Chain A
Amino acid sequence: MALIDFSNFNFIYPGADDKSLKNINFQLESGDFLLICGPSGCGKTTLLKQLIPAVAPYGTREGHILFDGEDLYELSDADMAGRVGYVGQNPLNQLVTDKVWHELAFGMENLGTSQEIMERRIAEVCEFFGMQKWLDRDVATLSGGEMQMVHLASIMVMEPEVLLLDEPTAQLDPLAARNFLDMIKRINAEIGTTIILVEHHLEDAYGMADKVMAMTTAEIDCFGNPREVAGKLKFMSGLPSALLIAKSVEENDEHLPLTVAEGQRWMRDRMKAKSIDEVTILNEAENIISQFDENNISHNDRDDISYDTRGNISQNAEILRIKDICFAYSDEDIVLNDCNLSVHKGEIYALLGGNGTGKSTLLKVLCQTEKPVYGSVEIFGKKVKGLADAPLGYEGMVFLPQDPMALFTEITVWEEMIETFDGMDIGLSEKEKLAETMLEDIGLIEYKKFHPYDLSGGQQQLLAIGKLLLLKPQIILMDEPTKGLDFDRKIQLGDRLKKLAESGITILMVSHDIEFCARFATRCGMMHDGRVVASSSAREFFAGNNFFTTATNRMVKRFLPKFILPEEVIAFCKM
């Protein structure tokens, strides 16, 4: 008998006309690893939440969900507690108490478990997760990835039968995300816990699952093992690069590659089949690259900037310069160490690197909210000595925080836009005109009356950018702008950034997101050991890296070392 059994299940939110879940029929055996994917707003999260009656959204349900043979909605909360675990997106919000050991004990305390059993289970789980050393730490000192891991452990302590994960890695850096997914896979394989994972970013997750469900609006589109489903998938966004490339090149391949390694094999076969000599291949490759590069930096043909042939910019357009900055939070750890960076007018500079390498600190130093021990910052060619003479705000430099919520004070989108002009000498009608135009421009005009918190993550990001654009900035600093956004929203954001750069605005962003930076940045640099290293054009940067590069580049590196985006490989294969 199946562990989870949805039969003819429908769900309608109160007051909505359309069903949010339609005709959901599927079974899951104990020990399955199910991946649910699909475009934003297709009902993935709604479906997932149906499995925890205690927090399921209000609405009308039709049909049945059987859990281990019993109707899920007739079981009491006490029966269900601990049997189904839930991990959501935001790491910090999921932690309740102040210490790691207390977090691990929290679920069992709720069920009134005795001290002996708690001790034993916590000991076991710590051993499994390798977190003995963390037990006495304050949760406030954990990184996002560690927080998410602690929350997972605190659920595993309760020995759940099913683990539900709703984009658990969306807020994590790539390394932490991979660690987290590996742990999920381990739990599935070693403990036999049934896993249901909702993900947008499928690069790593797709190959792990043993069942995949693709959803289109409110319905299940296809369901089955990953390879079967791979051929039938209608949407492309977020798929592993290897699969994306192979699918685009040949529609009906039965052996579609899912991982980088499989992709490499697939590519080798294609190259052999092409049976043309190396010189022709190189020429073709160069052609494609120059085509794509032309698209990418067409906006650079402006008078005030002079580029040489490789997309490098001459020195005269330098707009922001960091010179020999040293910075430390305490005596013991030096965060920035002789850090140098210069950014030119109209470019999108992406600063990549792992957690704690000092990327965000660098932005703080630029905003003058942290004072460096040594070194100087020059903006618009002028040395900045402190907060008082920093060209922040109107017609100067602005900063987009990681979490757009940090900017919202008002109760409607409209008032939020007007609030931007606070303390500025502008007439009300002028303010309204500017706000109106901006809302139209960012496509949020219909959401005028909404509370900013009721917007989706992507829309909040847009609203925050819109707010900042009202200040007519020349430089925008961005801290992890793609965090928590799904693939399509990232593309939208990237296109917007490109347009801004074309209009002469300079963007300096700090990011973990390799794929995003490869696609949209004009130049990239890597933060390492307190300095910026390998600063070069995006293509040179990623083509020069072996590990820290896009999945596409890793897949085709042996044959086409300079290709970094799936589209380029697709164009090459189709030639």
Chain B
Amino acid sequence: MVLRHKLLEKQGLGFIHPWMAFIYLLLALLLTMCTMNPMLIAISLVASISYEIHSIGLPKFVKYIPWLVLIFIITTIGNMFISHNGMHVLFYVNDNRITLESGIYGGVFGLMFAAAFLWCDITQRIITGEKLTYMFGSFAPNVGLVISMTLHYIPVIKNRLQVVHNAQVGMGRGKKMGALARAKQWGKEFSIVISWSLENSIDTSNVMTAMGYGVERRSNYSNYRVKLVDFIFLICILAMAIPGFVVIASNGYKVYYYPSFGMMCELKDMLAFILCYFVYMIIPFIAERFFRWH
């Protein structure tokens, strides 16, 4: 069970060295957020949605949908009431123009936000706690240790909350009660867990001292090695991403929303770049095609 999970973690992007995978995900996020071109955002959104569905499954992804829709609605309506530019007036509210263009802008912004959200979610799943520990550990060993200790404490404290709650239930304090009493009871349980954990941490700190913590400058044990394929991966993603950034910097993807919707360049001139962008966004799938356990 554990082993299978571990293998899944090491598939596709997970197989790539943490730093390279991180660079990929960071650039994907940046590429998504640096442009308001609806076509690029649509590509990024579709790619991230498909990858999410591919990796966590449709049922889990369905739970995200209300949030994504909420983001979309808030930005669309919000922008309509904030920005009154644009040629096509839909109606007036308190003498303010509500325009089609500002609605479109808000909607596209919402989609961009949703895509960014999904890329962040993908990042947190691929860059696991262990990888994060390693990445920080490689330049700041103490920060790496703190992350690792935090990851150790989360399940411990969760478990203690359960134990304390069970103990309180065992004293007859699990019955239905009013909101105030419930809050008080919850506060009590929380306070038990905190003081219990603090008391135990004295032990832990003694162990750390006895094991020589703080005696020398810490080194960092790493489970990850840079492989040839990681370099190839890095070169490929840079080759794919750099043109994108160049075009962004030169305003090639730029789209006008006000006074009316329009693009800076002809679509057919941009086709090659857009294809590049598309390939970049589906790299997680390509990686999974290559780095797969049989």
Contacts and interface: CB of A to CB of B under 8 A. Distances in A.
Decide if A and B are genuine partners. yes
Interface of A: 52, 54-55, 77-78, 81-82, 84-86, 88, 90, 92-99, 101-102, 105-115, 118-119, 122, 136-141, 151, 154-155, 158, 332, 364, 367-369, 387-388, 390, 392-394, 396, 398-403, 405-409, 420, 423, 453, 467-468, 471, 477
Contacts of B192: 405-409
B199 A110 contact: no
Contact of A98 (B133, B167, B201): B133
B170 A109 contact: no
B211 A107 contact: yes
Contact of B199 (A119, A140, A388, A453): A453
Contacts of B167: 399, 401, 406-407
Contact of A140 (B155, B170, B220): B155
B1 to A, nearest CB: 7
Contact of A399 (B155, B170, B201): B170
B221 interface: yes
Given A54-B210, A98-B148, A114-B219, 16 more contacts: A81-B215, A88-B207, A92-B156, A93-B201, A93-B204, A94-B203, A97-B152, A108-B219, A110-B218, A387-B169, A388-B176, A392-B171, A399-B166, A401-B163, A401-B170, A468-B171
A136 B220 CA distance: 17
Given A101-B223, A140-B159, A369-B169, A387 B174 contact: yes
A392 B165 CA distance: 14
A137 B219 contact: no
Contacts of A82: 211-212
For the complex of A and B, list the 7 residue pairs with the smallest distance between their C-beta atoms, beginning with the closest.
A393-B172, A399-B170, A81-B212, A105-B221, A93-B203, A140-B155, A98-B151
Given A77-B212, A98-B133, A398 B174 contact: no
A394 B172 contact: yes
A90 B210 contact: no
29 contacts: A54-B209, A77-B215, A81-B216, A88-B207, A92-B156, A93-B203, A93-B204, A93-B207, A97-B149, A98-B148, A99-B148, A101-B221, A109-B220, A110-B215, A115-B219, A138-B155, A141-B2, A154-B211, A155-B211, A158-B211, A332-B1, A387-B174, A393-B172, A393-B175, A398-B170, A399-B171, A403-B163, A406-B167, A471-B171
Size bracket, chain B contacts:
35 or more
Contacts of B203: 88, 90, 93-94
A81 B133 contact: no
B200 A111 contact: no
Contacts of A141: 2
B196 A94 contact: no
Given A55-B210, A110-B215, A477 B141 contact: no
Contact of A110 (B159, B160, B200, B216): B216
Contacts of A408: 192, 195-196
Interface string B106-125: 00000000000000000000
A155 B214 CA distance: 16
A113 B223 CA distance: 15
A340 to B, nearest CB: 22
B49 interface: no
A54 B199 CA distance: 19
B169 A112 contact: no
Contacts of B165: 369
Nearest to B163: A406
B211 A398 contact: no
Nearest to B152: A98
Contact of B217 (A95, A112, A332): A112
B69 to A, nearest CB: 32
Interface of B: 1-2, 6, 129-130, 133, 141, 145, 148-149, 151-152, 155-156, 159-160, 163-167, 169-177, 181, 188, 191-192, 195-196, 199-201, 203-204, 206-223
Contacts of B2: 136-137, 141
A464 B206 CA distance: 27
Contact of A369 (B1, B159, B166): B166
Give the dominant DSSP class at A's interface: mixed
Contacts of B1: 332
Contact of B174 (A86, A111, A369, A396): A369
Given A101-B221, A106-B211, A96 B191 contact: no
A55 B149 contact: no
Contacts, number: 191
Contacts of A138: 155
Nearest to A391: B172
Given A108-B219, A108-B221, A81 B166 contact: no
A403 B197 CA distance: 12
Given A364-B166, A394-B172, A98 B214 contact: no
Nearest to B188: A409
B221 A109 contact: yes
A492 to B, nearest CB: 22
A125 to B, nearest CB: 13
A402 B160 CA distance: 12
A388 B209 contact: no
Nearest to B181: A423
Nearest to B176: A388
Given A392-B169, A392-B171, A398-B170, A109 B219 contact: yes
A116 to B, nearest CB: 11
Given A98-B149, A118-B221, A392 B215 contact: no
Contacts of B223: 101
Contacts of A402: 163
A138 B130 CA distance: 10
Nearest to A141: B2
Given A139-B152, A369-B174, A55 B206 contact: yes
B169 A399 contact: yes
A86 B207 contact: yes
A569 B286 CA distance: 75
B143 to A, nearest CB: 13
B104 to A, nearest CB: 47
Given A369-B169, A399-B170, A78 B215 contact: yes
Contacts of A400: 170
Contact of B219 (A113, A388, A403): A113
A232 to B, nearest CB: 33
Contacts of A368: 169, 174
A364 B2 CA distance: 26
A296 B220 CA distance: 60
B212 A107 contact: yes
A512 to B, nearest CB: 18
A207 B86 CA distance: 91
B170 to A, nearest CB: 3
B172 A471 contact: yes
A405 B199 CA distance: 10
B219 to A, nearest CB: 5
Contacts of A113: 219
Nearest to B203: A93
A507 B195 CA distance: 29
Contacts of A392: 169-172, 174-175
Given A403-B163, A406-B164, A406-B196, A367 B211 contact: no
Nearest to B212: A81
